[in-house]
Structure 1
Amino acid sequence: MFDMGTAFPFGRYRTGVPTRAVIQPCRRSGVPAHAESRDDQWPLAPLNTSWLMSACGRIPLFHKNEVKIVRAVSAFVLTAAALLATALPASAGTVEAAVALQSQARLEARGAAVVVPVRVMCQNGATGSLWVQVTQNVRGELATGDKYTANVPCTGDHHKVDVTVVARTKAFRPGIAFTSASLNVYLPPDSSGTVESDREMMLVR
């Protein structure tokens, strides 16, 4: 004879309703004793297997309507992500630019400043700014200075720009110094770029 208690591990059934909802596996995993019910305490209603499986630490059951809702939400999220991707602006383009430091720079005012010659090139119609820094070791101490030039000519051709850098710590002296230059260029509406140059430079009177 078919034993419903053996077929359904959640308790013995009578005509499809639970006669005793004592779940021994849940008792061992920490479910309190008041979760047990007797025939006269348990309402004669179909067993909520989703609750039982969740209480036992198993994956809860889903109704077919809930599955449809999950699928609809997933489709909505994917559609929204696609629309957002098409609405975002394209990545910024590049602009032609170049910068080069010359091999010598001229000292001014007994080393209080140095005039650094720089060759720059940026695309016609763009705007460019130039930053130059000079650092020199003077008897074990650093002499350094920098200068920012807001506007450099941008015509598509190479131009020589003399940048006067004032010493901020010690006076520069004739000899080798390390020089850096950075050219930032912007071309409307959304193109930009930065080019850099570093080299040793001879400071002369």
Structure 2
Amino acid sequence: MKKLIAFLLSFFLALSLGLLAEASDTLEMNRKMGYFDNTRTVLLLSPRVSGNGGEAASYVNREMKQIFRYPYYRTLDTTGYEGAVSPADLPRLADESGADIVVMPVIQWHQWIFHRFLFDDGDDIIQTRAIVDIYSYKKTEGTVRDDRGTYFDTEDESTARNVYILDDIMKEVYKTFPYRRVPTDVSKSLTGETEDHTPKAVMR
């Protein structure tokens, strides 16, 4: 019995030392690559789109990439994780990929154009119904959050319309979205203990 206990203690000690060594190696690798000790790894998934939202997907994808980039975040290769997933799958994807944070934008984008009458030389009328949900999961929180921006309106058609619509939507998202280009949810030096002041959000 004593031998079994001694063996188990030795096993767990070796395992603990191995994990500490692996963590130390990861930190050292991060430093050599120019990352901070508290740099988080991010699995940034491509936007899921319903409707005619190709332009919106490109816009949102560009916005997310502007936030989650070197040296404050390290994005992971998404190969193998871009299948049809739902927000409920984000914790599983975090475990499988080893990501600290998983982000998945979901876009609903529908527009209908109404043409003027034959002798009316005004612009066509366009109706837009758009919802952008940025779902995210952080391991230290353990819950999936949803930060949302919406737009519903009918207006004259113009070439710059979608840009200002998306600008307005993302301004609404950023009111609660916890991640910024320079992180606000960890210590400013990114080399000490984390100071998490992330606002809470719930699944919709």
Pairwise TM-score range, normalised by the shorter structure: under 0.3
Instruction: Give 1 or 2: higher helix fraction.
Output: 2
The two structures have a TM-score, normalised by structure 1, of 0.23
The two structures have a TM-score, normalised by structure 2, of 0.23
Structure with larger Rg: 1
Instruction: Give 1 or 2: higher strand fraction.
Output: 1
